[in-house]
Copies of this chain bind each other. A is one copy, B any other.
Amino acid sequence: MTIDSFLPPHRTLMGPGPSDISPRVLQALSRPTIGHLDPLFIGMMDELKQLLKYAFQTENAFTIAVSAPGSAGMEACFTNLIEPGDKVLVCRNGVFGERMRENVVRAGGVPVVVDDPWGAPVCVEKVAQALEAESDIKLLAFVHAETSTGALSDAKALGALAQKHDVLTIVDAVTSLGGVPLKVDEWQLDAVYSGSQKCLSCVPGLSPLTFSAKAVEKIQSRQTPIRSWFLDQSLVLGYWSGEGKRSYHHTAPVNSLYALHEALLLLKQEGLENAWQRHRDMHEELKSGLEKLGFRFVVEEAHRLPQLNAIYVPEGVDEASIRRQLLEQYNLEIGAGLGDLAGKAWRIGLMGYGARKENIALCLQALQTSLL
């Protein structure tokens, strides 16, 4: 087999992520690599922390990017905050709630699952009842924006419930960060992780993560060692800490962090509120076009994510062949259904830099032509 340099085409990415990336971010990515202990790089990491705090709307001192994808950020939360035997209330209304449950088990915890239908948000009343019923729950874990269905759950109400019951929260904000309001401090959330490749429109491979003081305290007062060395955040903290000498933990993914810095700077320059509004506006435009074409949404309007639009595939249509056609003829990627929605739905992303009118126009026109 002869192998040549890989020259990817220019796709328009309107799936569930990775999302379209600004040329500014790709340019930052390819800047010259410098050492991960270079004083200039350490300065860049300090700025990155500031920018992450802004995106998360938090003053948490522990606000970093895990050097691995969102699923490692998820695991960092569970493996650091759970001790063997800890009971964890897990809300499951899609693929990522189930992955949370799996993480509880791997970390030695005992999951108590509150199920909601795919496409529905987490039911706050059911969670309240479960917290009343089981007095020894240590953690409440839920997905803010379910990437598998496009449903938005009420993180503010769930955070308040957890506070009331003195339970720590673990929140999956992979698809929400930068796309819809997320206010870590105001909503009193404890451990929140995200991904670089959704509404931040950075390259995939990094997981923004923030821990409240209460979460850090829980980690520091553990009775048993954390089961992972790579994800042990008490070690990682020494690496990301701005105070005094930085202790070596692992080699940071230098260039990917350049890209995240630039992506977060773009968000800061636009302003969080403006970015949220743009996602809503673009969603309205896409929705109106899709409805004209006769599409129905999976999620009810009140709980719909603007940045991830799950729609039912029309009866009798071979969904995979349409996606292939969009990809091959228009260089346009939309997402397949996942889990319970596999074969039944498409997921159209309007994330970060991808939430633009030109993308919507392309998507609507290409869909219409392909379905004729």
Contacts and interface: CB of A to CB of B under 8 A. Distances in A.
A256 B253 CA distance: 9
A273 to B, nearest CB: 19
B253 A205 contact: yes
A331 to B, nearest CB: 9
Interface in A196-253: 197, 203-205, 225-231, 248-253
Interface of A is mostly: loop
A289 B249 CA distance: 32
Interface string A49-76: 0110000000000000001111110110
A26 interface: yes
Interface stretch (A32-40, A85-93, A117-125, A299-307): A32-40
Contacts of A6: 28, 31, 44, 47, 258, 261-262
B254 A204 contact: yes
Contact of A75 (B18, B103, B195, B230): B230
Interface residues of A, number: 80
Contacts of A7: 31
A32 B8 contact: yes
Contact of A195 (B13, B68, B69, B251): B251
B38 A105 contact: no
A30 B33 contact: no
A244 B64 CA distance: 38
Given A10-B32, A251-B197, A99 B229 contact: yes
A165 interface: no
Given A18-B251, A205-B205, A258 B8 contact: yes
Contacts of A69: 67-68, 230, 250-253
Please name the 6 residue pairs, one residue from A and one from B, whose CB atoms are nearest each other, closest first. A205-B253, A30-B30, A68-B68, A71-B250, A203-B255, A204-B251
